[in-house]
């Protein structure tokens, strides 16, 4: 799987596309593959504050329930309501399916990786 080079990635397997002060956040293809068939996505409310490295929701699959972490701090300005009725969209196209959009508080994107850095990270993680 190739990962878009204009995204930034976290070691907790989220991707982020930062456009101005708005960060669009989703899970990586690696994450959806590890989770298996996704059955439910818990979304935050618009207006909710999220903190970098803090959870903002969860994803339930046939294998487990996993928290979804924000790579940035800020206010949720949009949620992908389509995931409420079609959580399987994350399995079908994780790199194109966003979960939330955040108005970034301070421009700090924390510890994120480039696409190449993320691919190296998952190769090392898969080897252990």
Tens digits of residue pLDDT in 59-78: 999 989 999 999 999 999 99
Q: What is the DSSP letter of 44?
A: P
> What number is the average pLDDT over the span 107-124?
87
pLDDT at position 14 is 96
> What number is the average pLDDT over the span 47-57?
94
pLDDT at position 10 is 95
pLDDT at position 125 is 86
Q: Which residues pair with 67 in a beta bridge?
A: 58
Q: Which residues contact 109 (CB under 8 A, 6 or more apart)?
A: 8, 16, 18, 23, 71, 72
pLDDT at position 6 is 95
Residue 22: which CATH number?
2.40.50.100
> Is 67 part of any domain?
yes
> What number is the average pLDDT over the span 33-38?
95
Distance (Å, rounded) from C-alpha 31 to C-alpha 27?
Answer: 6
> Is 3 part of any domain?
no
What phi and psi, each to the nearest 5 degrees, are found at residue 11? -75, -10
pLDDT at position 71 is 94
77 and 46 in contact (C-beta within 8 Å)? yes
> Is 46 part of any domain?
yes
pLDDT tens figures, 95-112: 999 999 999 987 666 689
The total number of structural domains in the chain stands at: 1
- The position carrying tokens 């079609």 is 86
The residue range of the domain holding 22 is 8-127
């Amino acid at each position: 799987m190739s990962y878009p080079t204009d995204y930034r990635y976290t070691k907790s397997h989220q991707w982020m596309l930062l456009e101005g002060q708005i960060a669009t956040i989703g899970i990586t293809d690696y994450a959806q593959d590890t989770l298996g068939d996704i059955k439910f996505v818990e979304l935050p409310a618009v207006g909710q504050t999220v903190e970098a490295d803090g959870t903002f929701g969860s994803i339930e699959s046939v294998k487990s329930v996993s928290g979804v972490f924000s790579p940035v701090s800020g206010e949720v300005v949009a949620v992908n309501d389509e995931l409420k009725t079609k959580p399987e969209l994350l399995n079908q196209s994780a790199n194109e399916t966003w979960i939330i959009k955040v108005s970034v508080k301070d421009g700090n994107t924390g510890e994120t990786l480039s696409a190449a850095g993320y691919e190296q990270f998952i190769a090392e993680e898969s080897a252990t």
